[in-house]
Chain A
């Protein structure tokens, strides 16, 4: 069967219980194109990629590769069919050398009969390895494991695709950009013809991005196809040939790059209509609760995660910080809580410079962390124990350091009732609860300290609608009680609905965007790290 599509999805749907993650998506990939996929968090990008990569099987619909219907049962299947994926978090063994990593990957996948056929039989395929390369690869198939062959393969591929990767150093000693190239080499070593790159530029510096694009062009010249997932509009417009936009699990747009402007694409991504923005005017009191001046924080890779940020929050307001995941929000919140060392600048709470998390907590700051499972709760502790996991609770439940069991359980039962935590058994291990109920445990604990300032990061992530509304009401209640709330969320709608003042965080910079709150396009552009055109 003749077809120009290397990959075709026909009416693919994926449901998880009630949730439709991917909704009837049809989509074609031309051979040798760079195809960008745009979409908000939760738009279904990852699910779609996992379907293509064989991690999930579609509930309905069909996937064709080079015109043939395929039922991919696992990534192994997908790889055997010429797919390769570069995950956002690298799947590399730091202690092995580059060549060893590639050999490991080959040994894992090349033992497949199918794959050895792929490598040996497709001599006439335009995407084939040259003969020398394919001989080396098939040697791995026969389990003849020779390190110098792995080294040679790495060198050949690195040269062919102009990647300048040395096979000898340990992967752990490489820069992020080089690690990414090793990931791409891994995929090329098993002759991947379609490469899925999940947010490949998120971890790269601007200079590295330039080099990375060069590699993409080389891959394209070799007639390989690239799926490029990104949040960054500018990069998408620069590199891609075609763009597909997803929103809420549906494909809303596919077209040639350049057909739509950045603003039009943002509108496609975010949708036009937003539900009612609450109009109840808040009474902001002119007394700063949190004052941040010139704050800079370094991230885990020593990169600048928060860049010279200044802001205040006042009593009686919710200050929202919107932004795409991984733009420094986590580090920002953690530095306010004293959990991250500050490189420069100051954080003051109620006029006092903060020191330890303990004193920050004692000054009346509550915290709903982004990562519920590691930072919000202790999985092995009971619900009751988790409900007192905040030193501000200790005085309430303990006299002279001895925990009064009856007080501990009555306060726990009260919180369980107020916040409708199910099942309502304080002795149950918290890990037995659903994610939504675990989040309720966190919210219940943090709000019941009657905090002056609440720092909440993605407080409704993973919650169903009614639970999310409950959390929203709780935040508004805090505001109406003349407390201060800092809401950091990747859910734009949530931030727009709740905030009295609005900021956007992008690449560690905090930009005030209250004036743009009625223009979703402007905020979208700010989130993408773009400037706002004058006409908006």
Chain B
């Protein structure tokens, strides 16, 4: 029998789903989402096309717009990476929100208190502040990991619960707690010491080194996942736990790694956001980055590199909201709806894939 034809046939099949999965499907999702949203905008009494052009203009139309889009994409990217890594490895970490906040909280504690006792230089302040956030986010993830391993607690539940704990812990700390500002007037912390703040790269734009760090992390994580035995183990545990176990890969150990890694990425995201942009930690520090991150990661099909593009889209939407408000007059809340609509179409597409593969495996 002639197998070369089969191979050729396969290389055909091999490329086609890549194009389909990575380009056509996300494109289709976005088109559907934008169309659906356009209907809502229309019924709100605005012109959808003008609204979209205004959003595009503000997010990509000028150097400062692009800069702001990048800045706003960064927390989505960091939390998106956190979710992508976890989901990819079979861990349903819904706790990026809490881990993001705890990372910021740890950085605040260091940046407004401890940093005073260390040499007043950014070369020491920034790395240690970042280190604090990584440990805080990672430990938050490990709580769920330990509960899952020892008691079988479903991580979806434990991570959501920990989100509430983190949100209220931040409140308690900055609203009358030990981290409240010295003046005790607002519910916010003292501003960070200057030597714990991330510098700006191109004044007056707010572009900061955290953006570059996040993109580098996305590349490194992709490499680690697909080119190292460490990543291989993680993926194996995620996609075939029984087979991985039989191969001698420890599920317990790798579960711990994933939870820590996922939590640390979100925590680091919180610290970057705080150290680069916020003068101080407030009660409403995160507008729900950790939850939106699920949409970001799913749209990127849980690939860290694709998460960069997906985060950029969500950053642009957030930035575009200002354009819509200023130029068209529609409420910026419409972008939050947009994000939710994207998520719905992502989920719809996922189940579509699921049923397709189910049908093909049955036939």
Contacts and interface: CB of A to CB of B under 8 A. Distances in A.
A381 B239 CA distance: 8
B10 interface: yes
A534 interface: no
B229 A376 contact: no
B115 interface: no
Interface string A378-412: 11110001001111101000100111010000000
Contacts of B24: none
Contacts of A401: 228-230
Interface residues of B, number: 25
Given A378-B243, A427-B14, A389 B236 contact: yes
A46 interface: no
Interface stretch (A70-78, A120-128, A356-364): A356-364
A375 B242 contact: yes
B240 A381 contact: yes
Contacts of A390: 247-248
By Cβ-Cβ distance, the 6 closest A-B pairs, closest first, are A378-B240, A361-B248, A391-B248, A358-B248, A423-B6, A375-B242
A511 to B, nearest CB: 27
B168 interface: no
A378 B244 contact: yes
B359 interface: no
Interface size class of A (residues with CB under 8 A): 35 or more
A153 B300 CA distance: 53
Contact of B243 (A361, A377, A398, A422): A377
Nearest to A403: B227
B245 interface: yes
Nearest to A385: B232
Contacts of A375: 242-243, 246
A375 B239 CA distance: 11
Contact of A389 (B10, B227, B230, B243): B243
A423 B10 contact: yes
B229 A398 contact: yes
A18 interface: no
A431 to B, nearest CB: 7
Nearest to B227: A403
B133 to A, nearest CB: 26
Given A424-B7, A425-B7, A431-B361, A379 B248 contact: no
B123 interface: no
A428 B10 contact: yes
10 contacts: A361-B247, A374-B240, A377-B243, A378-B236, A380-B240, A391-B247, A398-B229, A403-B232, A425-B7, A425-B14
Given A390-B248, A401-B228, A403-B232, A380 B243 contact: no
Contact of B246 (A367, A380, A381): A367
A441 to B, nearest CB: 11
A399 B11 CA distance: 29
A305 to B, nearest CB: 17
Contacts of B331: none
Contact of A339 (B3, B229, B240, B245): B245
Interface in B333-363: 361
Contacts, number: 86
A378 B249 CA distance: 13
A369 B246 contact: yes
A17 to B, nearest CB: 14
Interface string A142-167: 00000000000000000000000000
Interface string B201-233: 000000000000000000000000001111010
B250 interface: yes
B224 to A, nearest CB: 9
A391 B249 contact: yes
Interface in A329-363: 337, 339, 356-358, 360-362
Contacts of A377: 240, 243
Contacts of B227: 402-403, 405
Contact of B228 (A357, A398, A423): A398
Contacts of A425: 7, 10-11, 14
Contacts of B242: 371, 374-375
A423 B242 CA distance: 26
B228 A422 contact: no
A403 B14 CA distance: 22
A31 B11 CA distance: 59
Contacts of B247: 357, 361, 389-391
A422 B229 contact: no
Interface string B239-262: 110111111111000000000000
A375 B6 CA distance: 28
Given A376-B246, A401-B229, A423-B3, 4 more contacts: A356-B248, A380-B240, A402-B228, A431-B361
A302 to B, nearest CB: 16
Contacts of A398: 228-229
Interface string A423-461: 111011001000000000000000000000000000000
Contacts of A428: 10, 14
Contacts of A357: 245-248, 250
Contacts of B243: 374-378, 389
Contacts of B229: 394, 398, 401-403
Contacts of A356: 248, 250
B232 A378 contact: no
A514 to B, nearest CB: 29
Contacts of B228: 398, 401-403
Given A378-B236, A380-B239, A401-B230, A337 B246 contact: yes
A437 to B, nearest CB: 12
A427 B12 CA distance: 12
A93 B240 CA distance: 26
B18 to A, nearest CB: 11
Interface string A43-80: 00000000000000000000000000000000000000
Contacts of A374: 240, 242-243
A401 B239 CA distance: 20
Interface in B1-38: 3, 6-7, 10-11, 14
A445 to B, nearest CB: 9
A208 B311 CA distance: 60
Interface in A475-507: none
Nearest to A423: B6
A41 to B, nearest CB: 23
A171 to B, nearest CB: 22
A385 B243 CA distance: 12
B362 to A, nearest CB: 13
Nearest to B226: A403
B231 to A, nearest CB: 9
Contacts of B232: 385, 388, 394, 403
Interface in B281-299: none
Contacts of A402: 227-229
A447 to B, nearest CB: 15
A374 B245 CA distance: 11
Contacts of B361: 431
A428 B6 CA distance: 11
A377 B230 CA distance: 18
Q: Give the residue among B7, B232, B244, B361 with the most A Cβ atoms within 10 A.
A: B232
Nearest to B6: A423
Contacts of B250: 356-358
Nearest to A380: B239
A21 B229 CA distance: 44
A367 B246 CA distance: 8
A431 B228 CA distance: 23
A390 B243 CA distance: 9
Nearest to A431: B361
Contacts of A367: 246
Nearest to B10: A425
B239 A378 contact: yes
A360 B239 contact: no
Nearest to B237: A378
A423 B240 contact: no
- Among B7, B10, B243, the most chain A Cβ lie within 10 Å of the Cβ of B243
